[in-house]
């Protein structure tokens, strides 16, 4: 019998052993159950309490002894249903909680919150934050100063980013600092005409600014700043330059 699914539902190896023995031999005393399961009586008592808490076991008094029995295995289906209800409740309430928690960040003295991210995993974290943040915004648009070297790092770290961006209907305006670069759907691009291919890649979105570059070892690094005033300033500068590059 493959019982791995029962372990995934939260039963420990010992709980599973006791439950299966209850099914096979119950009603049964704790002493006899401990002998069959090859566990000490104290452990069996504790395990039976856990099984009762999970509605998988119960007991009755037989003369001077307690006898334990296993509940119908259909209880596992009810456990799954209860878990589905719990997950549904969490999903319905997590977004307001996230918004409330985010409002606490950097609140004191309106100080900027900055976070450092390193290597490909760090770049993916920044881009995932962008997707997650803008998916909850009414205005699903952000702005980019695109740099060639950093762009190649981003494409390597997150090759499906533009696919997910398009799926979430997120629009981007990009100013390329050097030659090259194209469009990937739901985006516009204009060119500054600089020859600097190693400049910092800057992303401006929803109260945040991300700066992606390379360290001395040539590895990608990113700094994410969360501050509405910094975001507003960067947005104004970008939009003015965007109009000038028509």
Q: Which domains are assigned to the chain?
A: 4-73 (1.10.10.10), 112-244 (3.30.870.10)
pLDDT greater than 60 at residue 107: no
Pick from 102-106, 154-158, 189-193, 195-199 the range whose average pLDDT is largest.
154-158
- Taking the C-alpha atoms of residue 106 and residue 77, their distance in angstroms, rounded to an integer, is 45
Rounded-to-integer distance, Cα 128 and Cα 111, Å: 24
Q: What is the mean pLDDT of residues 25-47?
A: 90
**3-class SS at 211?**
strand
Distance CA 88, CA 82 (A): 10
- Whether 131 has a pLDDT exceeding 70, the answer reads yes
> pTM of this prediction?
0.59
Q: Is 70 a residue whose pLDDT tops 60? A: yes
Per-residue pLDDT tens for 156-180?
999 999 999 999 999 999 999 887 7
């Amino acid at each position: 019998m493959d019982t791995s699914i029962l372990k995934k539902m939260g039963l420990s190896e010992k709980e599973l052993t006791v439950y299966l023995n209850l099914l096979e031999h119950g009603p049964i005393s704790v002493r006899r159950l401990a002998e069959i399961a090859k566990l000490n009586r104290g452990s069996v008592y504790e395990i039976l309490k856990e099984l009762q808490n999970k509605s998988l076991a119960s007991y009755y008094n037989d003369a001077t002894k307690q006898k334990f029995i296993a509940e119908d295995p259909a209880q596992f289906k009810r456990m799954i249903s209860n878990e589905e209800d719990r997950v549904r409740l969490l999903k319905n309430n997590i977004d307001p909680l996230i918004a409330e928690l985010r409002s606490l960040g950097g609140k004191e003295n309106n100080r900027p919150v900055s976070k450092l991210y390193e290597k490909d995993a760090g770049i993916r974290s920044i881009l995932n934050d962008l997707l997650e943040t803008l998916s909850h915004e009414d205005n699903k648009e952000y702005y980019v100063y695109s740099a060639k070297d950093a762009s190649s790092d981003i494409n390597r770290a997150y090759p499906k980013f533009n696919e997910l961006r398009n799926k979430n209907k997120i629009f981007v305006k990009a100013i390329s600092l050097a030659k090259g670069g194209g469009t990937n759907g739901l985006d516009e691009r204009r060119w500054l005409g600089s020859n600097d291919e190693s400049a910092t890649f800057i992303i401006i979105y929803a109260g945040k600014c991300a700066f992606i570059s390379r360290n001395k070892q040539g590895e990608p690094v990113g700094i994410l700043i969360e501050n509405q005033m910094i975001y507003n300033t960067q947005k104004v500068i970008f939009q003015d330059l965007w109009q000038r590059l028509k």
